[in-house]
Amino acid sequence: MRRSGMSRFVFPFVLCSILVASSPVVHAIPKVVGGKVADAGQIAQDIASAGRLRMQSQRLAKLYLQAGIGLKAGLARQQIDATIGEVDAEFVRLARYGQKSTVQRVYARSEALWQEMRVAATKAPDIAAVERFNQIADDMMVHTGKLAMLIEGEGETPIGRLLDLSSRLNMLSQRLARLYLQAYGGNQTQGILVDIEQARKEFASGLLELDMARENSPASRDAIGLARNQWVFFDSSISELSKIGRREERAAQNVISSSERIAQVLDQTSLQYIKDFTEGSRSNR
């Protein structure tokens, strides 16, 4: 493909009606009770929710492109279907921000973009559809990133910076996979290749910053260690750009599978930060 990064497509694209448990996102968020601790704990959970929305914007774009190219298209369609329900639930979870004067505009724009993406996901992933889907995904990425920042500003949550960083890394992992698939599909322009390298550098530096944070507990360091291990495999797959020109399907499959694994690990890292914060808050009361 010359415009959207796909040279061939699988046109039949009917979303499965049965949700499958194939998403990397886990919602076992710790609950917090008790005054200001409860408020701060809720904000920490909400930062994580907004971060998942940002990540899913890029993951859905990756899956939509994956289905269009024909790489495990059936599985990709099932994952899209499952993820739609999860994103719907995240917006419901954050719905009260639609009533807050400082946040409601960004929340409303994020939700409107999601509704547009939701409809787009039901269409066959032809060239024009994929190009439009990517545009929506990038707009949603920007606005949900703003949403996370505004929610963080709603309270004094010490762990907020690390939560935002871990969720940003998760988004970058999915964006990297999507960019790789665009190149694999035929868009090997200089712009795409530069974007891949820039995202790789951002991820590596962000992961180092997360690893070095003094707020880390032993448990969160263990979680980051798992993320670091997954990054080695993921980066190795992404870096094999020479195989794109030869359209080596195995290399593309490695990118797809490793991007899903690193998403799982980074989401668990975010959940560990929330757990550390809530447990620390209780012990300090």
Taking only the tens place, the pLDDT of each residue in 194-214 is 999 999 999 999 999 999 999
For residues 221-240, give the mean pLDDT: 89
Q: What percent of the chain has pLDDT over 90?
A: 66
Mean pLDDT of the chain: 85
9 lies in a domain? no
Flag whether 19 is in a domain: no
Examine residue 40 and state whether it is found in any structural domain, yes or no: yes
Q: What is the pLDDT of residue 160?
A: 84
d(CA 58, CA 25): 14
pLDDT(76) > 50: yes
Determine the Cα angle at 46 with ends 45 and 49, to 5°. Answer: 90
For position 30, what pLDDT does the model report?
A: 43
Angle at 154 between CA 151 and CA 156, to 5 degrees: 110
Provide mean pLDDT across the span 53-60. Answer: 98
Q: How many domains does the chain have?
A: 1
3 assigned to some structural domain: no
What is the mean pLDDT of the segment spanning 9-35?
43
Quickly count: other Cβ atoms within 10 Å of residue 33's Cβ: 9
Q: Is the pLDDT of residue 47 over 60?
A: yes
Rounded distance between C-alpha atoms, residue 38 and residue 47, angstroms:
14
Taking residues 212-228, report their average pLDDT. Answer: 93
Average the pLDDT over each of 23-37, 50-64, 75-89 and give the range with the smallest value.
Answer: 23-37
Cα→Cα distances 68→62, 85, 129, 231, Å: 10, 21, 10, 26
pLDDT number for residue 247: 65
Whether residue 1 has pLDDT greater than 90? no
Mean pLDDT over 59-80 rounds to 96
pLDDT at 3: 43
Instruction: Answer whether residue 10 is part of any domain.
Output: no
Q: What is the pTM of this model?
A: 0.85
Is 265 inside any structural domain? yes
Decide if 11 is inside a domain. Answer: no
Average pLDDT over every residue of 153-159: 76
Q: Are 164 and 215 in contact (CB under 8 A)?
A: no
Confidence bin at 134 (pLDDT 50/70/90): very high
Q: Do the domain assignments include residue 199?
A: yes
pLDDT of residue 186: 85
Q: How confident is the model at residue 31 (pLDDT cuts 50, 70, 90)?
A: very low
pLDDT value at residue 40: 75
- The boundaries of the domain holding residue 268 are 35-279
Least confident stretch, 38-52, 121-135, 219-233: 38-52
Instruction: Report how far residue 66's alpha carbon sits from residue 189's, in angstroms, rounded to the nearest whole number.
Output: 19
Burial class (CB in 10 A: 0-12, 13-18, 19+), 237: buried
Tell me what the mean pLDDT of segment 156-167 comes to. Answer: 85
Q: What is the pLDDT of residue 285?
A: 54
Quick one: what percent of the chain has pLDDT higher than 70? Answer: 81
Looking at residue 22, its pLDDT comes to 45
